[in-house]
Chains A and B, each alone.
Chain A
Amino acid sequence: DVVMTQSPLSLPVTLGQPASISCRSSQSLVPSDGNTYLHWFHQRPGQSPRRLIYKVSNRDSGVPDRFSGSGSGTDFTLKISRVEAEDVGVYYCMQATHWPRTFGQGTKLEIK
């Protein structure tokens, strides 16, 4: 199975400051169709996960433009340009190129 490794696992950030989460896969996520199926999710306590970014860099509807995704091959990054209070929670990357799908361990973002 493809192993997804996130870092850091804990991310204390001051309001208004930037934040960055790394996600690395043990295999390339580029399948034969040329797309890279790497998605990012955000989960608040007691809630279901919500997709933020799909196929590396596409923001979902309603996601603020302070969120951005980038990367290729096996190395991906989620960035928040200026952290706001509502951004707290756990962020997960997930690969949907290979079966079975796999998630990163999660990165817990908290406000300092």
Chain B
Amino acid sequence: EVQLVESGGGLVQPGGSLRLSCSASGFIFSSDAMHWVRQAPGRGLEYVSGITKNGGSTYYADSVKGRFTISRDDSKNTLFLQMSSLRADDTAVYYCVRGGSGDYSNWGQGTLVTVSS
């Protein structure tokens, strides 16, 4: 069974940093692209970032470009999202999502990030 478990969320002050992790199991992690998608309270889904299966390419939404960095450790089956210069509008549940273009079938339960003073 595929499992994606996010962690690292919490309360952080504006301008601060946070690193999210996603622990994956039940599939060959190194064979899949991985992604982060977020959802602000009461709002829709927003694609944040993606990384190809070999980590060679990374992609970001304009709203986080230059502030967030996605990475992966295939030896530990873990996906990361380093977030810096956090703003109030980064407050959201962050989901880890598995897959290449034809996938996106597996989502984690999400981790809440709250940016507030």
Q: Footprint of B on A, CB under 8 Å?
A: 1, 31, 35, 37, 39, 41, 43, 48-51, 54-55, 60, 90, 92, 94, 96-97, 99-106
Contacts and interface: CB of A to CB of B under 8 A. Distances in A.
Contacts of B59: 99-101
A55 to B, nearest CB: 6
A54 B61 CA distance: 22
Interface string B39-58: 00000111101100000000
Interface in B61-117: 61-62, 95, 101-105, 107-110
A94 B103 CA distance: 11
B104 A90 contact: no
Given A92-B45, A101-B47, A103-B44, A39 B62 contact: no
Interface residues of B, number: 22
Given A55-B102, A94-B45, A101-B59, 5 more contacts: A49-B107, A51-B105, A54-B102, A92-B44, A101-B35
Contacts of A54: 102-105
Contacts of A39: 104
Interface of B: 35, 37, 44-47, 49-50, 59-62, 95, 101-105, 107-110
A103 B48 CA distance: 11
B64 to A, nearest CB: 10
A106 B35 CA distance: 19
Nearest to A54: B102
A54 B67 CA distance: 31
Contacts of B61: 1, 100
